[in-house]
Copies of this chain bind each other. A is one copy, B any other.
């Protein structure tokens, strides 16, 4: 999956170094107090090189998010073809989601980090960029779904709708999670959101 020669590997490493540097600095100091120059310096490359990789701060920051979303699509492709669609989707998401959000999803993220992330995702430009990342990944996701269901990624609405539902489930879950005062468990929320999308969202009966 990654013996592409030195050149490719270095490039990926630089890209990741830059985007992690961006995230770290912004979570620490707030987006307004980080210059692109700082990010480049932190990652050990020139400002001009930063611009070869990313058009702006937001894109650099959202790159981690994008990569994760693409991995979910990739994972979906790797799942056995016999597996029912939604089973595969839930598995793919839960598998690859342990969000690069914090370190690797291992240790419980400390409060300072969470606060920083909250501030970060509240930033308008960032939100847009993360949503865009979702949209990019949804194209891959839709293609994977089309393959798996024998639908047509170009002409049919279905695979696009499912892909969009997955993206929406992830987005809504993260938002809900970040808004909650008491720390919620992420996985059950995610599973719940995906299940509701797959099963439909009929109006809840009058109590």
Contact = CB atoms under 8 A, between A and B. Distances in A.
Copies in the complex: 2
A201 B167 contact: no
Interface in A125-144: 125, 127-129, 131-132, 134-135
A157 B84 contact: no
Nearest to A85: B203
A198 B196 contact: no
A172 interface: yes
Contact of A203 (B86, B160, B173, B196): B86
Nearest to A62: B128
A183 B152 CA distance: 18
A22 to B, nearest CB: 16
A150 B193 contact: no
* Chain A contact patch, size range: 35 or more
Contact of A164 (B128, B162, B171): B171
Contacts of A135: 127, 131, 171
B172 A164 contact: yes
A192 B160 CA distance: 13
A161 B172 contact: yes
Given A55-B124, A131-B128, A135-B127, A162 B86 contact: no
Interface of A: 55, 58, 84-86, 124-125, 127-129, 131-132, 134-135, 149-151, 154, 157-158, 160-162, 164-165, 167-169, 171-173, 175-176, 179, 189, 192-193, 196-204, 206-207
Among all A-B residue pairs, the 10 with the closest Cβ atoms: A200-B200, A128-B128, A128-B132, A131-B131, A164-B168, A85-B203, A160-B172, A199-B200, A164-B172, A168-B168
